[in-house]
Amino acid sequence: MKSGTKRASEGTTSKDNKKPYFQRSWTEEDEISLLQVKANGKEKKVESLNLWFKKIRK
């Protein structure tokens, strides 16, 4: 006869099963590129960002 209680799984902890809060949508290079565009292109901000988004979508 089976008992009604479940036992904890062996070999894993709750820390092992935690999922990250977010997952990167782009690479670290893309992130650096975006930050450079933001830092260098304040006067051409919209143009620069549009070009950057087109570049990473390819």
- Measured CA to CA, the distance from residue 2 to residue 56 in angstroms comes to 56
Instruction: List, for residues 5-43, the tens digit of each pLDDT value.
Output: 665 555 555 666 777 787 778 889 988 888 887 777 665
Per the domain annotation, does 11 fall within a domain?
no
- Measured CA to CA, the distance from residue 56 to residue 58 in angstroms comes to 5
- Measured CA to CA, the distance from residue 10 to residue 39 in angstroms comes to 50
Per the domain annotation, does 45 fall within a domain?
yes
Residue 55 near residue 37 (C-beta atoms within 8 A) = no
Domain count for the chain = 1
Per the domain annotation, does 33 fall within a domain?
yes
Q: Rounded to 5, what percent of the chain is helix, strand, coil? A: 50, 0, 50
More confident call, 36 vs 1: 36
Per the domain annotation, does 53 fall within a domain?
yes
Confidence (pTM): 0.37
The pLDDT assigned to 44 comes to 61
* Residue range of the domain that includes 31: 26-57
